[in-house]
């Protein structure tokens, strides 16, 4: 049983309540196994940046689908759901998915939960949008995400990636980005967090639009 605490997220004109783990250190079971790092149990600054960006800039058409990869607590995906997208939250950690699903339900959403590891990703569904909030941090995992971006995006779909100016993300995107397959827009969204040691972040948002018709 995970001890939880409530988090309030203020979007312009809308207040959102989520639950995150109250004590992340208590969830550490094996410090030598990277897969067991409980980085899913809180909302990362990049997730706030992506959530604000989506809330302020994107209007989904009825029936448009969104897949959030490495969703953790699910904030950016939930914002898409509030804007009427058809939402799938995905993570390889079942506890993360359980909490993300509860967070979605407590904000009035019906969502699909997809338990998948990027290294063995078997889902063949294609989505209008794929969200990636601070998940391109590991040079060995990044190529698997690159394949999912290609395989699971609908023609003319968009991949939206956010990160706090991570070198591993920039390096991956520089190698992965193919001008003949995608157009790219890049912007910075400032994020201020009241209860963090480091309160201010510049979150980089990349929007890749598929050029396939």
Q: Does 117 bind ligand SAM (CB under 6 A)?
A: yes
Q: Does 27 bind ligand SAM (CB under 6 A)?
A: no
Whole-angstrom CA distances from 169 to 122, 137, 186 are: 24, 6, 13
Q: Does 43 bind ligand SAM (CB under 6 A)?
A: yes
Are 38 and 24 in contact by the 8 Å Cβ rule? The answer is yes
CA 65/CA 87 separation, integer angstroms = 6
- Least distance to ligand SAM from the beta carbon of 74, Å? 8
Among 16, 18, 20, 47, binds ligand SAM (CB under 6 A): 47
Among 52, 118, 129, 149, binds ligand SAM (CB under 6 A): 118
Are 89 and 98 in contact by the 8 Å Cβ rule? The answer is no
Q: Which two tokens stand for residue 213?
A: 């018709």
Instruction: Specify the residue, 105 or 119, whose C-beta has the smaller distance to ligand SAM.
Output: 119
Q: Does 109 bind ligand SAM (CB under 6 A)?
A: no
Q: Which of the 8 DSSP states describes residue 82?
A: H
CA 112/CA 90 separation, integer angstroms = 8
Of the ranges 2-10, 51-59, 66-74, 166-174, which one interacts with ligand SAM (CB under 6 A)?
Answer: 66-74
* Interface residue list for ligand SAM (CB under 6 A): 39-40, 43-44, 46-47, 70-72, 91-93, 96, 117-119, 133-135, 141
């Amino acid at each position: 049983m995970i001890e939880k605490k409530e988090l309030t997220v203020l979007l312009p004109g809308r207040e959102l309540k989520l639950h995150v783990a109250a004590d992340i250190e208590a969830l550490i079971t094996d410090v030598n196994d990277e897969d067991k790092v409980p980085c899913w149990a809180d909302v990362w600054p990049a997730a706030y940046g992506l959530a604000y960006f989506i809330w302020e800039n994107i209007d989904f058409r009825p029936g448009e689908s969104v897949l959030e990869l490495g969703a953790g607590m699910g904030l950016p995906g939930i914002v898409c759901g509030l804007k009427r997208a058809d939402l799938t939250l995905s993570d390889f950690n079942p506890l993360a998915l359980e909490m993300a699903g509860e967070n979605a339900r407590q904000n009035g959403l019906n969502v699909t939960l997809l338990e998948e590891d990027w290294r063995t990703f078997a889902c063949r569904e294609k989505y209008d949008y794929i969200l990636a909030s601070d998940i391109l941090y590991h040079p060995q995992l990044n190529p698997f995400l690159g394949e999912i971006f290609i395989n699971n995006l609908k023609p003319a779909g968009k991949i939206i990636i956010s990160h706090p100016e991570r070198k591993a993300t920039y390096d991956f995107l520089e190698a992965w980005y193919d001008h003949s397959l995608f157009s790219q827009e890049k912007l910075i969204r400032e994020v201020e967090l009241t209860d963090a040691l480091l309160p201010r972040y510049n979150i980089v948002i990349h929007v890749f639009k598929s050029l396939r018709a």
